[in-house]
Structure 1
Amino acid sequence: MTWRALAELRPSLEATKGLLLPFSLRRWLALGVIAFFVSGASGANPNLSMTGGGPSEESPAVDSAPIDGLATLSDAEIVLALLVVGLAVAIGLALLLVGAIMEFVFVRVATERDVRIRGYVGENVSRGASLFLFRLGIVFVLLALFVAPVLAAFVLSPVFVVLAVLLVPAFLLAGVGLWLVLRFTADFIVPVMVVEDLGVLAGWRAFWPALVDDWKQYGVYAVARLLLGIGAGVLAGLGFVAVGLALLVPFGLVGAVVYLVFGVLVGGTWLAIASLVVLAALYALAVLVSGVTCVQVPIQTYLRYYSLFVLGSVTPRFDMVEAVRSEVGDPAGDRSPTDGR
């Protein structure tokens, strides 16, 4: 029995090279826009910190000042804070929606071998909205499964702490299940939705019989995809570090010149600081654009082809890369009716 998840590793690499080479800056930049959203590079990672400790007997006025400050917030300041939070949430949801649409754009780019964004976005807005709502529902499920019990454990009673510890295996199992749902939705349901012109739930209903029939093949894929994801994360991290170090040299030289001119010769300290802040922002933007384009584009393109090749070889009904498969000489499409069963 041939394991398709292993057989499609090399053909997926050949298909990736066929799309990315010969090098074209326009093509790589367009793929960089797609990879930016698909890879989750736009996701926020808020860092919430909590400090403990009661008021000190030596300096009670200092410790109580923040509380007094919060109590004296004006209505305008509260409204402004709510507006800032609402704007951040709106931006986050907009980025998630664009990321969902880009999943379908990426599939069309990979299968058509035509790297463009505008036309593909217009025809996939409704599918992207369906995927966005599905992912939002998963987020709420995660909150219900993990956050709510933890809060109950620390707020209600120590008994809930013991109960939460006892339920750790169940939490882990639920986490694995949700990861599989999200992973298979992005890798398999998205192309199924394109092939069958369905919403995300209808796409799952269409894919479910194939998943049940070839559960061994898709199980091996899940393990291989997990390992590939870990390797891709490590490689992307190293790549971004390399890009950052490479760009640090020219930006560092420019920064030294700026400080010498404005800070030393002209004597404008604040002007020098402002210029360095702007330069630091440009450096961060350059690292992001260069890193996504040079590092994430080949990684995400390979992973996208890999899922499409496995899906098409295991379940030919949903094969979207038949033409690409013939280009790279992949014989895995000629599957035996009993493979993986």
Structure 2
Amino acid sequence: MFAIDDLSDAIDVTREFLTPVRLWMWLKLALLVFFVGGAGFGSPMSFGGGGGFGGEPTPGPGADPGASVDVGEVLPVVIAVVFVVLVVGLTFLFVGSLFEFTLLESLRSGEVHVRRYTKRNVGHGTRLFGFRVALGLVGLVLFGVPVLAIVFSTSETVSLGLIGLLVLLAIPVGIAFAVVDRLTTVFVAPTMLEHDLGVVAAWKRFWPTLRGHWTEYVVYLLLVWVLQLVLTFVTGILFVILLIPFLILLFIPLLNIIVLLLGLPVILLGVLLIQVPIVTYLRYYALLVLGDTDADLDLIPDQRAAVRGGGPNRTDEPGGGWNTESDGPDGGDYGQGDTSDPWGRDESQDRDDTDSSDRDDDTGWGDSNGWDDGDDDDDRWR
């Protein structure tokens, strides 16, 4: 079964991508992980049911009437806080939607170019952002309306049966939203990138694959949730270990001020660096499952062939990516056949070595991992 076999293949592909360790590359991946990976980011459109605003509360027996809160005074503050949270959340979600494709391009090419890949996929990222906002609005309607009905209820007590009904509704609907969001992120987004489609069109293209191999994707979802549970537990342990030295330094005079100023950024960076291989592994795992169930949607054919001993190998040069022209372990050029002619001329030198999955830019597979990639306004995504 692909969903099971790809668990080990994803380890090999991840190791090939992340080694040898290049600090600058890992730092750029940490930036991407901050927005797209890790613990995730809930929909900014979802608001919890806070206190009631349906009028002034009725003081209970023995309560001080002067202690009541004037809703008219509190409401502007609440609105301002909600507005700030909404703006920050939407900004975070937009950048994360852009970086989804930056990460996909990096995993496919073997190189991390944040500015170049982000600029090239603004359209894709904007469409994904719009889909996520729409999904959040649907969730707001499904959950917000019942919660508001309870909050603005004139009754002083809320029926436990009504609360139980909302919980029963929240569980299946929440699972459905989580499944749609994950499938969109790890399968539909690569389809958008591979065939230059919008979200809806990519879903239509992916749907026959999902329906035809539904058992593979069910197993994938079950395994990836178990993996995330285990990896979250391991990450939590590593976070505690990382936190211990800072807690000790807090009790040392003078040093505690420096720890308070620098401690949180260092801890955050450490957690992100820990999550880099985790997020990379999970994304490669999804891409392997997608390509195995539909070769036309395969975003990483070279990496897949290399780790399975039937394709191109990765170069060992610093900054090297997946080399589509390299020889296999037996000295043969996988998938190319005999490229020499009777005159002793190597025809591979005349062959167009442009990869079909990344033929739009002029950066090559062996670009350095510089942060500033130069002006590539002439790049086209085809």
> Same fold per TM (> 0.5)?
yes
Indicate yes or no: 2:145 matched with 1:143.
no
2:129 equivalent among 128, 132, 142: 132
Q: Distance in 2 between matches of 1:298 and 1:280?
A: 28
Q: Secondary structure at the match of 2:111?
A: coil
Q: Distance in 1 between matches of 2:147 and 2:50?
A: 17
For the aligned residue pairs, the C-alpha RMSD in angstroms reads 3.2
Q: Distance in 1 between matches of 2:173 and 2:76?
A: 38
Q: Distance in 2 between matches of 1:197 and 1:206?
A: 11
My pick for the range that moved more, 220-229 or 35-44, is: 35-44
Indicate yes or no: 2:297 matched with 1:318.
yes
2:33 maps to 35
| Closer, same or farther: CA 42–169 of 1 in aligned 2, 3 Å | closer
Q: Compute the displacement of 1:160 (Å).
A: 7.4
- Aligned amino acid, residue 285 of structure 2: Y
| Structure 1: gaps (5+ residues) | 260-274, 333-341
Q: Compute the displacement of 1:207 (Å).
A: 0.5
2:268 maps to 288
Q: Which has the higher contact order (CA 8 A, sep 6+)?
A: 1
1:267 maps to none
2:16 maps to 18
1:245 maps to 244
After the TM superposition, which residues 224-263 of structure 1 pair with which residues of structure 2 at under 5 Å, given as runs? Answer: 224-249=223-248, 251-252=249-250, 256-258=252-254
Indicate yes or no: 2:283 matched with 1:304.
yes
After the TM superposition, which residues 60-209 of structure 1 pair with which residues of structure 2 at under 5 Å, given as runs? Answer: 60=64, 64-65=66-67, 67=69, 73=73, 82-153=79-150, 155=153, 162=161, 165-166=164-165, 169-209=168-208
Q: Secondary structure at the match of 1:198?
A: coil
Q: Compute the displacement of 1:323 (Å).
A: 0.6
Give the TM-score, by structure 2 length: 0.70
- Does the Cα contact within 8 Å between 1:19 and 1:113 map onto a contact in 2? yes
| Closer, same or farther: CA 279–177 of 1 in aligned 2, 3 Å | same
1:268 maps to none
Q: Distance in 1 between matches of 2:207 and 2:12?
A: 29
Q: Secondary structure at the match of 2:24?
A: helix
Can you list the C-alpha shifts for 1:252-287, whole angstroms capped at 9, x where unaligned? 3xx62417xxxxxxxxxxxxxxx73x6414211110
- Aligned amino acid, residue 67 of structure 1: V
- Does the Cα contact within 8 Å between 1:195 and 1:320 map onto a contact in 2? yes
Q: Compute the displacement of 1:108 (Å).
A: 0.7
| Structure 2: gaps (5+ residues) | 312-382
Q: Compute the displacement of 1:292 (Å).
A: 0.7
| Closer, same or farther: CA 256–231 of 1 in aligned 2, 3 Å | same
2:219 maps to 220
Q: Compute the displacement of 1:171 (Å).
A: 3.8
Q: Secondary structure at the match of 2:134?
A: helix
Q: Compute the displacement of 1:174 (Å).
A: 2.2
Q: Distance in 2 between matches of 1:126 and 1:28?
A: 26
Q: Compute the displacement of 1:130 (Å).
A: 1.0
| Closer, same or farther: CA 168–90 of 1 in aligned 2, 3 Å | closer
- Does the Cα contact within 8 Å between 2:59 and 2:68 map onto a contact in 1? no
- Which structure dedicates a bigger proportion of its chain to helix? 1
- Does the Cα contact within 8 Å between 2:38 and 2:279 map onto a contact in 1? no
- Does the Cα contact within 8 Å between 2:188 and 2:202 map onto a contact in 1? yes
Q: Compute the displacement of 1:152 (Å).
A: 2.6
Can you list the C-alpha shifts for 1:302-324, whole angstroms capped at 9, x where unaligned? 00100001101111110011111
- Does the Cα contact within 8 Å between 2:49 and 2:147 map onto a contact in 1? no
| Closer, same or farther: CA 176–87 of 1 in aligned 2, 3 Å | closer
Q: Distance in 1 between matches of 2:202 and 2:154?
A: 41
| Closer, same or farther: CA 139–49 of 1 in aligned 2, 3 Å | closer
Q: Distance in 1 between matches of 2:296 and 2:91?
A: 33
Q: Distance in 2 between matches of 1:331 and 1:172?
A: 44
Q: Compute the displacement of 1:133 (Å).
A: 1.4
Can you list the C-alpha shifts for 1:143-171, whole angstroms capped at 9, x where unaligned? 22223224434626789764563575554
Give the TM-score, by structure 1 length: 0.78
1:54 equivalent among 45, 59, 63: 59
Percent of residue pairs identical: 31
- Aligned amino acid, residue 282 of structure 2: L
Q: Secondary structure at the match of 1:8?
A: helix
Q: Distance in 2 between matches of 1:40 and 1:83?
A: 29
